[in-house]
Amino acid sequence: MTRLIFLGPPGAGKGTQAQVLAKHLRISHISTGEILRQAMKEQTPLGIKAQSYVDSGELVPDQLVQDLVEERLSQPDSVSGWILDGFPRKVTQAAFLEELLAKTDQGGERVVNLDAPDEVVIARLLARGRKDDTEEVIRRRLEVYRNETAPLIDYYGKRERLLTINGNQSQEEVTAELKHILAS
Ligand code: ADP
């Protein structure tokens, strides 16, 4: 049973690696960013509420992402394992998740911290060119990452569940390292 949380700055490669690994392990890949973008595209109530936050690089309110994660983790395809990509992004969300996993008997999760330097992630994001990948919004997302998300490295580090991987390598090298670490 594999349950993984992917941490790391925007552009570190979380989404790409989570997708490859989830397919390899036949577990579900839950990307809160992807779910929000899909909801915005379809203009669902969630999408409409999230739009202004995502567009400006701010975190959407906890309740919105927490509800969607709770819903997603209760689906049958999550029973055999999952990778959470983009959640939790702050300490309050991590505390929520901890409680949810305890309540639903889904323990044993490991946390992968995929790290890469600012100049590398900025260059990658600018090259990707998503709607929220403009220079101004990227700068804000990195700031939010440093202030809100980076403290989770300590949070999970203290719980001895944290693995750190250098995201500043080729996609194949990162995948190989992840598979190696997870097999041990
Ligand atoms: P990236 O990792 O490149 O920043 P994501 O797809 O993970 O991209 O997230 C895109 C945006 O979606 C974030 O900037 C934020 O507005 C919103 N978002 C995603 N996950 C969360 C979360 N757990 N809490 C709050 N907002 C979130």
Question: Could you report the per-residue pLDDT of 143-154, keeping only the tens digit for each?
Answer: 999 999 999 999
Nearest-Å Rg of the Cα atoms of the chain is: 16
Q: For residue 183, what pLDDT band results from cuts at 50, 70 and 90?
A: confident
pLDDT at 36: 98
> Is 63 a residue whose pLDDT tops 90?
yes
Question: Among the residues of the chain, which ranges form H helices?
Answer: 14-25, 32-41, 45-56, 62-73, 91-103, 118-128, 135-144, 151-158, 171-183
pLDDT at 159: 86
Q: Give the predicted TM-score (pTM) of the model.
A: 0.96
- How far CA 51 is from CA of 29, 37, 56, in Å, comes to 22, 8, 9
Mean pLDDT, rounded, for 69-80? 95
Question: Could you report the per-residue pLDDT of 6-23, keeping only the tens digit for each?
Answer: 999 999 999 999 999 999
Question: Could you report the per-residue pLDDT of 97-125, keeping only the tens digit for each?
Answer: 999 999 999 989 999 999 999 999 999 99
Boundaries of every domain in the chain: 2-30+81-183
d(CA 98, CA 170): 32
- At residue 107, what are phi and psi to the nearest 5 degrees? -85, -165
Mean pLDDT, rounded, for 84-108? 96
End-to-end, the C-alpha distance of the chain in Å comes to 13
Beta carbons within 8 Å of 137's beta carbon, 6+ residues apart: 55, 56, 57
> Is 161 a residue whose pLDDT tops 90?
no
SS3 96: helix
Q: Is 139 a catalytic residue?
A: no
Share of the chain above pLDDT 70, in %: 100
Our mutation pick for probing the ligand 1 site, out of 59, 64, 136, counting the most ligand atoms within 8 A of Cβ, is 59
pLDDT at 1: 87
Average pLDDT for the chain:
96
d(CA 48, CA 153): 31
pLDDT at 160: 85
Our mutation pick for probing the ligand 1 site, out of 38, 132, 134, 145, counting the most ligand atoms within 8 A of Cβ, is 132
Share of the chain above pLDDT 90, in %: 94
Q: Which atom of ligand 1 is nearest to the CA of 36?
A: 12
Mean pLDDT, rounded, for 130-137? 95
Beta carbons within 8 Å of 148's beta carbon, 6+ residues apart: 59, 89, 90, 91
Q: Which atom of ligand 1 is nearest to the CA of 88?
A: 23
Distance in Å, CA 65 to ligand 1 centroid? 9
Q: Is 89 a catalytic residue?
A: yes
Mean pLDDT, rounded, for 68-91? 96
pLDDT at 184: 77
- Tell me the CATH class for 2-30+81-183: alpha beta
